[in-house]
């Protein structure tokens, strides 16, 4: 089933969310830092290993039951009440709702904004200026998506040009995936690079990190943990 259109309304004044919660960042360069997560609903990809299918899989979930339209002013107040200095906008694919993202980031001038995106949609100049860190996760063949749907050169180029982007890849089989990552890195001039094991159990994450450490070191890449999996946090 295709992704339904966003419900009517002033999109820039509200966002369609799956959830929002306080935790710490479990992945990438800001790992371990206290933050709030604002998870936007809807996605333009259908990755086989996705751990948030409720944001897009309408064969399994009813969008009316797993997503809500939330006023941006309410979100701004909620973030401020948490007393954190970092907000992670994630999904789904939040870039499908750039006006809402822009309004949200604009209302939180004293909060660092990190955006997690699949890198298929370029940000507007206004939004790009408001984001402190782009964590871009281009999808590999292991996602089950076609190359043309998961790799968009223009969008990646725009994100590279912000000078505030890192590129994080999910690895399921190192012997296969690392060569594919190297090719994408070279073709699209992606840096810095983080590789992260796929896994939803402590054992799988730890084994995956162990398998990635040597090859990543040899290539000059970084390795990301999945701290929320290791600790049992959200």
- Residues at the binding site are 24-26, 39, 43, 47, 49-52, 90, 92, 137-139
- Count of CA atoms in the C-beta half-sphere (13 A) of 104: 33
Alpha carbon separation from 78 to 21, 55, 67, 233 (Å, rounded) = 10, 21, 17, 20
Query: Which positions make up the binding site for S-adenosyl-L-methionine?
Result: 49-51, 92, 137-139
Which residues participate in the annotated binding site for [4Fe-4S] cluster? Answer: 43, 47, 50
Torsion sign over Cα 37, 85, 103, 122: negative
The binding site for substrate comprises: 24-26, 39, 90
Element of type H or E holding 16: strand 14-24
Partners of 165 in the β-ladder: 134
Phi, psi of 126 (to 5 degrees): -65, -45
Q: Which residues are annotated as a binding site for Mg(2+)?
A: 52
Contact 6, 43 (CB under 8 A): no
Residues 218, 119: Cα–Cα separation, whole Å: 25
Q: Are 143 and 51 in contact (CB under 8 A)?
A: no
Q: Within the chain, where are the H helices?
A: 63-66, 72-82, 98-106, 125-130, 147-150, 153-161, 174-188, 202-219, 227-231
Q: How many CB atoms lie within 10 A of CB 107?
A: 15
């Amino acid at each position: 089933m295709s992704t339904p259109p966003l419900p009517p309304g002033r999109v820039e004044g509200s966002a369609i969310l799956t959830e929002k919660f306080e935790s710490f960042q479990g992945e990438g360069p800001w790992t371990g830092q206290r933050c709030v997560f604002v998870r936007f609903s809807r996605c333009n990809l259908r990755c086989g290993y996705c751990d948030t299918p409720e944001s897009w899989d309408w064969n399994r979930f009813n969008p009316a039951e797993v997503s809500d339209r939330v006023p941006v002013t309410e979100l701004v107040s909620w973030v401020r009440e948490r007393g954190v200095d970092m907000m992670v906008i994630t999904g789904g694919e939040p870039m499908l709702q750039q006006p809402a993202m822009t309004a949200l980031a604009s209302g939180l001038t004293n909060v660092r904004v990190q955006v997690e995106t699949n890198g298929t949609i370029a940000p507007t100049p206004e939004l790009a200026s408001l984001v402190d860190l782009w964590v871009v996760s281009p999808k590999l063949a292991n996602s089950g998506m076609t190359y043309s749907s998961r790799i968009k050169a223009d969008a990646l180029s725009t994100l590279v040009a912000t000078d505030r982007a890192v590129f994080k890849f999910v690895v399921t089989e190192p012997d296969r995936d690392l060569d594919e990552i190297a090719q994408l890195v070279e073709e699209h001039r992606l840096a810095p690079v983080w590789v992260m094991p796929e896994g939803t159990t402590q054992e799988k994450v730890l084994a995956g990190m162990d398998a990635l450490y040597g090859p990543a070191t040899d290539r000059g890449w970084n390795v990301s943990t999945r701290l929320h999996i290791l600790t049992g946090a959200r």
